[in-house]
Structure 1
Amino acid sequence: MSMTLALRRSIQATPERIATVFYQRRQSFRTFGDRVARLAGVLQSLGMGRGDRVGMLGVNSDRWLEVLMGVWWGGGVLNPVNTRWSVPEIVYSLDDCDTGILVVDDHFLDRVEGIRASAKRPPVFIYAGEGRAPEGMPSLAALIDAATPVEDADRAGEDLACILYTGGTTGFPKGVMHSHWTLWAIGIQRFAQTPMPEGSIALHVAPLFHMGGIGRALVQFIAGETHVLATAFDAREVLQTIERERVTDVLLVPTMLQALITHPEFDCFDLGSLQRMVYGASPIAEPVLERAMALLPGVAFTHSYGMTELGSATSNPPTNHGAEGRASGLSRSAGRANVGVIVKVVDANGTELPRGEVGELIVRGPNLMRGYWNKPEETARVLRDGWLYTGDGARMDEGGHIFIVDRLKDMIVSGGENVYSAEVENVIARHPAVQACAVIAVPHAQWGEAVHAVVVRKPGAQLDDAALHAHCRGAIAGYKCPKSIEFRESLPLSAAGKVLKRELRERHWAGQSRQVS
């Protein structure tokens, strides 16, 4: 299977159907397909060979989707760059997988010189904005207009399609490799989980560089239906867009959903077109879900549990969100395994545990990543005998429903973004006044979890919150920086000298039914 196959089907079967809506700009599948074929030729002329990496640094837009499909049409591999990263983080990902071309929109032009100055092999930059191209950067629009369409390179199956960078347990991001086959499986599984009738219109507000965002786009391409794109999440704009474009489908992280239903103008918009809402990336607070269902009674809610390494593993369908599901507690589950997926809860030796006992959730299916780019040891730790070890603590009931209860790996999920403690700790430890530190997750009303740093100063050293925050912001993205800092004389240690993070977490999580939010 090839991800371009879905686009070719739409060009053939419904060429005049609207493919993308980006504010006032609309284009049919015929027009979109022609631009994709031209863009593929442009990328090839700039040096993209089969399997070569091309980066996209930009907010959600129709041009983003053109680059997505254009890279694949031309035979390349997409590196979707996290727009919240600092320049050093961006450069690391470009260097790590040797990205030769980087498409940049208006929002990130200020990063170009920093990237050019520090990348091992500065990429060829292409401007994909709405204005005049900066000096020295060719315009994507002009290049496409002058190009000749090329044939689909028809890379498919196990051919590499994209490298999605996620946080690293060793302090460095990991490039998650997905083939055309795994992406196709992810899209088909999501399509099976939330079937869409003809005429479905999806609003993309989750960032497309995330698996959640790109996975939702794949579903829409497979369905051959319309994509509506917003540059970023703004509650009022989302409400306005749903009304204006008669949106039927949307994927939101819980923080977005909460902002939507608590917006003071919520009742001012006609949301009657909305039929399906998928939420995921982090668990949702029950009061938020109950209020959302009360305010949107005609909408079918689905919870999707997954991660970058596998897309979606389980789904909790609309039937579990009704009164009976809430009464039985099934609304709080992550649902059952998706179509074509098997899940198990195992002990430290990999032995399956009896129903109701807590262990590590492991997953098997055609949607699993092909490994981490150039990281065989880390790949071997999570991919074992065909199973992906999620690092999440869970239990399974007699009906096969999964309940996530704890996080076994040292990761924080804040507003749907994954933050690895080791990465933040490495940055904090580089401050000359820091003797020791530990980073943990603490509950947060808006973001679910927040990054909390516990720091021990060197004897006689001066260091306050403001100075440490400034230090962190110079090295990592803002969402990874500590939201709160606690200074201590020492850290609790085990007999083996390891920091006892569970002790640090105890007072923050006391009274909580689970150790994740």
Structure 2
Amino acid sequence: MYMTQGLHRSLQSDPQGIATIFKDRVRTYEEHVDRIARFAGALQGLGVQAGDRVGILSMNSDRYAEYLLAVPWAGAAVNPVNIRWSPAEVAYSMTDSGTRVLLIDDAFLPMAPLLLEKAPVLTTLIHCGDGPTPEGMLSYETLVAENEPVVDAYRSGDDLAGVYYTGGTTGFPKGVMLSHTNFVSSSLGTVATGQLLKAGSRLLHAAPMFHLADLAAWCGLTIMGGTHIMVPYFEPTSVFKAMEEHKPTDVLLVPTMIQILVDHPDSNNYDLSSMERMLYGGSVISEGVLNRTKARFPGLRLTQAYGQTEASPVITLLLPDDHEGDRMRSGGRAAPHCQVAILDLDGKEAATGEVGEICAKGAHVMQGYWNNPEATAEALRGGWLHTGDLGYMDADGFVFVVDRLKDMIVTGSENVYSAEVENALSKHPAVASSAVIGVPDEKYGERVHAVIVLAAGQNPTAEELQAHCREHIAGYKVPRSFEFPEALPMSGAGKILKRDLRDSYAAAQN
């Protein structure tokens, strides 16, 4: 298996088919492959060798799509950088992975001097934006124009394809080493369901392309052959316009993005009828948001993917026909390429309905963490990838994710799973979004604390919210305290940063 396989197939079978659309740039597969082969030649000319890491710090674009294939074409491995990171975090990932070449677009040019200062390993910056190329950097377009195309290196199998740094929601980022087999097997397994990314699909990239969830969708469509449509970043109006103008059939979003779209006041002003399938994941979606999505897109086929970077990333899939009843609260069943088990603390399989750690195995599981054998041994023990997520499996194999191990709240000796409380809160009309954390409590050890962003014009009391929760969950799970900020801290992938909420709460008490 190799990342560029689908590209060769599309060039052979549909060279004049549209490969990418970005702003006013539309490129065929013939043009797409030529540019990829030329940029690969440029990388080799810059001294990039087999297995080297090449980074990118950029918003979504057609050049990003070219980078994802040109780097393996040149024999190297991709290292997409989280666009929400500070210069220190970016520099750490460059230094840790030994990345010498970094592509950078206009949005991040002000960061360049700090990166060069903090990460001496960086020797070459390639400007991949649309503005003028700064002094001291190389122009992406000039490199493409002035280099001859080279033959695909055909790196494959267990060869390193990418180093993806975790989002850092539960600690300092770790570099996840993923092979060509890891990437392709996960994408093939997802496509094998027959519910996503059919041949000729038009995929809208509104989620950040640095994130592995979007990479999985990108890889699946590249395998099947279709059109990649990019918007620079998620912004409701630009997404609506892209849907109306370019007629995508598929999109991948995280739940926070879906909520923003379906609740946007202009949602009904655009023709979104081309949309056939929506893949969502990255975090748990509440029933309230899910029901509003189904109402706004009545013909849309919804699929939820549960997974993590270490699994390339798909572990389970909740397919369209399973979006009903209690199954809507689950993450679905094991994807075709994956084996799933719920294991207890002793590494034994838990009984049906019993909460334990969600574990996975298959050809999609990572090779390990870059330069971190201890963390690798901890995650890959007993022949399983230990996800760090708590969940249970029902008699039909549906996996219900209840919490991160580190997010579980123990109050008065009772375990409370934050996702369950957040789901109850989501059903209140005044709650736009929420995050539930455990905070210190003298009497109970920890208490359930809800951080809530209110819907416009709403101002419920704590007592009203508590009464609402008691209608859906047990009394000991009901939040005992509340905060009402204007927004929740988010990672670049759209995940709520509960660690930041806990730190903020602790700082406020001192």
Give me the TM-score of the superposition, normalised by structure 2: 0.82
Aligned match of 1:449: 435
For residues 247 and 58 of structure 2, the distance between their equivalents in structure 1, rounded to whole angstroms, comes to: 26
Tell me by how many angstroms 1:292 deviates.
0.8
SS at match of 2:4: helix
For residues 49 and 400 of structure 2, the distance between their equivalents in structure 1, rounded to whole angstroms, comes to: 45
SS at match of 1:184: helix
The question of 1:367 aligning with 2:356 is answered no
| Paired residue total | 440
CA distance 1:407–1:483, shift in 2 (3 Å):
closer
CA distance 1:186–1:410, shift in 2 (3 Å):
same
The question of 1:409 aligning with 2:409 is answered no
SS at match of 1:85: coil
Tell me by how many angstroms 1:224 deviates.
0.8
Tell me by how many angstroms 1:355 deviates.
0.5
Is the 8 Å Cα contact of residues 191 and 198 (structure 2) preserved in structure 1? no
Tell me by how many angstroms 1:386 deviates.
2.5
Is the 8 Å Cα contact of residues 452 and 482 (structure 1) preserved in structure 2? no
Is the 8 Å Cα contact of residues 454 and 488 (structure 1) preserved in structure 2? no
Aligned match of 1:340: 337
Aligned match of 2:454: none
CA distance 1:135–1:488, shift in 2 (3 Å):
closer
Tell me by how many angstroms 1:280 deviates.
0.7
Tell me by how many angstroms 1:339 deviates.
0.2
For residues 68-110 of structure 1, give each alpha carbon's deviation from its aligned partner in whole angstroms, at most 9, with x where no partner exists. 1110100001110111000000000000010010000011001
Instruction: Give 1:374-393 correspondences, 5 Å limit.
Output: 374-393=371-390
Tell me by how many angstroms 1:486 deviates.
3.1
The question of 1:482 aligning with 2:508 is answered no
Is the 8 Å Cα contact of residues 383 and 389 (structure 1) preserved in structure 2? yes
SS at match of 1:356: coil
Aligned match of 2:180: 180
Is the 8 Å Cα contact of residues 407 and 438 (structure 2) preserved in structure 1? no
Aligned match of 2:75: 75
For residues 167 and 81 of structure 2, the distance between their equivalents in structure 1, rounded to whole angstroms, comes to: 13
Aligned match of 1:465: none
CA distance 1:167–1:200, shift in 2 (3 Å):
closer
Instruction: Give 1:460-471 correspondences, 5 Å limit.
Output: none
For residues 488 and 265 of structure 1, the distance between their equivalents in structure 2, rounded to whole angstroms, comes to: 39
Tell me by how many angstroms 1:367 deviates.
0.7
For residues 377 and 478 of structure 1, the distance between their equivalents in structure 2, rounded to whole angstroms, comes to: 26
Letter in 1 for 2:368: G
Q: Which runs of 5+ in 1 are unaligned?
A: 413-439, 456-471, 492-517
Instruction: Give 1:116-515 correspondences, 5 Å limit.
Output: 116-167=116-167, 171-193=171-193, 194-310=195-311, 311-321=313-323, 325-326=324-325, 329-409=326-406, 448-449=434-435, 482-483=500-501, 485-487=504-506
Is the 8 Å Cα contact of residues 55 and 81 (structure 1) preserved in structure 2? yes
For residues 500 and 169 of structure 2, the distance between their equivalents in structure 1, rounded to whole angstroms, comes to: 17
Is the 8 Å Cα contact of residues 133 and 139 (structure 1) preserved in structure 2? yes
Is the 8 Å Cα contact of residues 200 and 224 (structure 2) preserved in structure 1? no
Is the 8 Å Cα contact of residues 36 and 66 (structure 2) preserved in structure 1? yes
Letter in 2 for 1:77: A
Percent identical residues: 43
Tell me by how many angstroms 1:483 deviates.
4.9
For residues 43 and 216 of structure 1, the distance between their equivalents in structure 2, rounded to whole angstroms, comes to: 25
CA distance 1:244–1:411, shift in 2 (3 Å):
farther
Runs of 4+ in 1 over 4 A off after TM superposition: 167-171, 440-448, 450-455, 477-481, 487-491
For residues 214 and 439 of structure 2, the distance between their equivalents in structure 1, rounded to whole angstroms, comes to: 29
Aligned match of 1:428: none
For residues 265-321 of structure 1, give each alpha carbon's deviation from its aligned partner in whole angstroms, at most 9, with x where no partner exists. 111111111100111111111111111101111110111101111011001111111
CA distance 1:230–1:10, shift in 2 (3 Å):
same
Is the 8 Å Cα contact of residues 197 and 220 (structure 2) preserved in structure 1? no
For residues 335 and 86 of structure 2, the distance between their equivalents in structure 1, rounded to whole angstroms, comes to: 35
Tell me by how many angstroms 1:196 deviates.
3.4
Letter in 2 for 1:66: E
For residues 147 and 131 of structure 2, the distance between their equivalents in structure 1, rounded to whole angstroms, comes to: 20
For residues 14-44 of structure 1, give each alpha carbon's deviation from its aligned partner in whole angstroms, at most 9, with x where no partner exists. 1100000001110001000000000000001
Letter in 2 for 1:273: S
Letter in 2 for 1:161: A
For residues 282 and 77 of structure 2, the distance between their equivalents in structure 1, rounded to whole angstroms, comes to: 25
Letter in 2 for 1:214: L
Give me the TM-score of the superposition, normalised by structure 1: 0.81
For residues 397 and 105 of structure 1, the distance between their equivalents in structure 2, rounded to whole angstroms, comes to: 47
Is the 8 Å Cα contact of residues 94 and 119 (structure 2) preserved in structure 1? yes
Aligned match of 1:38: 38
For residues 258 and 66 of structure 1, the distance between their equivalents in structure 2, rounded to whole angstroms, comes to: 30
For residues 20 and 451 of structure 1, the distance between their equivalents in structure 2, rounded to whole angstroms, comes to: 42
SS at match of 1:7: helix
CA distance 1:356–1:213, shift in 2 (3 Å):
same
Tell me by how many angstroms 1:490 deviates.
8.8
CA distance 1:89–1:176, shift in 2 (3 Å):
same
Is the 8 Å Cα contact of residues 282 and 448 (structure 1) preserved in structure 2? no
SS at match of 1:486: helix
Tell me by how many angstroms 1:410 deviates.
5.2
